[in-house]
Amino acid sequence: MAINENEIAALVKQVLSEMTGSSPVSSAPAYAAPSAPGAIPKTAKVAMMTKLKHFEIQEYPIPEVGDDDILVKVEGCGVCGTDAHEYKNDPFSLIPVVLGHEGTGEIVKMGKNVKADSAGKPLKVGDKVVTCMIFKDNPDITMFDLNKQNVGGADVYGLLPDDNVHLNGWYSDYIFIRGGSTVFNVSDLDLDSRILIEPCAVLVHAVERAKLTNILRFNSRVVVQGCGPIGLICIAVLRTMGIENIVAVDGNEQRLAFAKRMGADNTVNFMNHKGIEALSEAVKAAFGGYYADFAFQCTGSPVAHSNIYHFIRNGGGLCELGFFINGGDATINPHFDLCSKEITLVGSWVYTLRDYATTFDFLKRANAIGLPIKELITHRFKLEDMNEALETNLAQKGLKIAYIAP
Ligand SMILES: [Zn+2]
């Protein structure tokens, strides 16, 4: 069968539009196909957490989009460990709340003052976006001096108490982004990659913190302890920056197998080694007879924190990033673990706005070199099934759980 050039061009356009989910740039205005302004409904649905362990689908009118506002049709959102804590115990006293902060979607309407995203990239209806922090109290903070402050000091959509707008989290079919929020145009990333931006930013930040020690270099021997999503992404970030000698430590063979596919050279299953002496010998053997130059601690276990010093050589470095919340006290011996070995230790928590922008490039690199980042999303749920999604997370099934809009 012969195909002429025009047919080939049409086919390429069709394939491209299926890949990107939008109409080809050259043929029509960006807002023509999936997001004609007329298609915006009057109301939006949210999964409102009305009490502990209980989401309820509620419907609210979509407010008038003001000059600085952006209305986004939600495409998907990851379930974070923070959401699981909220679901179980509401430690931040947010109930009633629309959760979901690892979300992404398409701009369907925006105010006349909105011209560019927080990195200066133009924004238009039809663009795919993510949000980061909301700086309503601190508008002076800009993109490139943000290493001053991590997200800990700012508000975030998906962790805001309910108000009269209601469309405040990504577990919804529309989210209402107000002026003063940081927004990024990530139209050049596919949906699964966009859902993984937030957790990946945590690791970009941790590696930036680690680099401050001046110990992490090409050819460094690096141990990553803990192979949940955070540890696995840590391995991927290290690989994309050219670190080759990575040993992953975990107690689960499936996760260790995934760690190898993500770029770990070698793995150690701590279940196979009784006591810290045997375990540290196993890590040393995995590096061919050397202790690690640098270690990333990616579990929330105090024992794991105590253990990891034993995997590091004299003069080595450690980045502790596993304790997103208070997981209790850990015991170390300051003489043997820190002083006499001259360990350089950094802590890391969440990310800065600048790390967020770096993360977009990290994801493109990781996808380009074939790291199975997107396979981290193991479970997908509808908005109506958010209870089940959170229960799946709490049961520690799979890796990343996500809400995917229809
Ligand atoms: Zn999160």
pLDDT, tens digit (0-9, with 9 covering 90-100), for 220-242: 999 999 999 999 999 999 999 99
Please give the average per-residue pLDDT across 159-173, as a whole number: 95
CA of 337 relative to ligand 1 center, distance in Å? 31
- Using a CB cutoff of 8 Å and minimum separation of 24, what contacts does 274-281 make? 276/307, 276/310, 279/249, 279/307, 279/310, 280/307, 280/310, 280/311
Residues 208 and 276 in one domain: yes
Give the CATH number for residue 340: 3.40.50.720
Please check whether residues 154 and 254 belong to one and the same domain. Answer: no
Residue 316 Cα, ligand 1 centroid: separation in angstroms?
30
* Ligand 1 centre distance from Cα of residue 244 (Å): 28
Q: Are 211 and 328 in the same domain?
A: yes
Distance of CA 324 from the midpoint of ligand 1 (Å): 10
Residue 362 located in a structural domain: no
User: Are residues 205 and 180 both part of a single domain?
Assistant: no
Q: Is the pLDDT of residue 180 over 90?
A: no
Q: Give 203 Cα–ligand 1 centroid separation in angstroms.
A: 12
Whole-number pLDDT of residue 138: 54
Provide the 10 A C-beta neighbour count for residue 315.
11
Distance from residue 101's CA to the centre of ligand 1 (Å): 6
The reply to whether 51 and 138 lie within a common domain is: yes
| 207 lies in the same domain as 100 | no
pLDDT at 145 over 70: no
For residue 112, the CA-to-ligand 1 centroid distance in Å is 31
Please state, in angstroms and rounded to a whole number, the distance separating the CA atoms of residues 167 and 46: 7
Same domain, yes or no, for 225 and 102? no
What residues does the ion ligand 1 have nearby, CB within 5 Å?
Answer: 80, 198
Average pLDDT over residues 322-330: 90
> What gap in Å lies between CA 180 and CA 139, rounded to an integer?
7
In the predicted model, what is the mean pLDDT of residues 155-183?
93
Those residues whose C-beta lies under 8 Å from the C-beta of residue 83, and which sit 6 or more positions away, are: 99, 100, 101, 158, 390, 393
Number of domains present in the structure of the chain: 2
Range of the domain at 285: 201-347
Confidence tier at 251 by pLDDT (50, 70, 90): very high
CA 297 to ligand 1 center in whole angstroms: 18
Model pLDDT, residue 351: 84
Does some domain include residue 167?
yes
Mean pLDDT for 104-110 is 98
Tens of pLDDT along 33-49? 444 555 799 999 999 99
- Arithmetic mean of pLDDT over the chain: 88
- End of a domain among 347, 362, 396? 347
Can you tell me the distance from the alpha carbon of 224 to that of 237, in angstroms, rounded to the nearest whole number?
A: 12
What CATH number did the domain enclosing 173 receive? 3.90.180.10
Q: How far is the CA of 252 from the centre of ligand 1 (A)?
A: 23
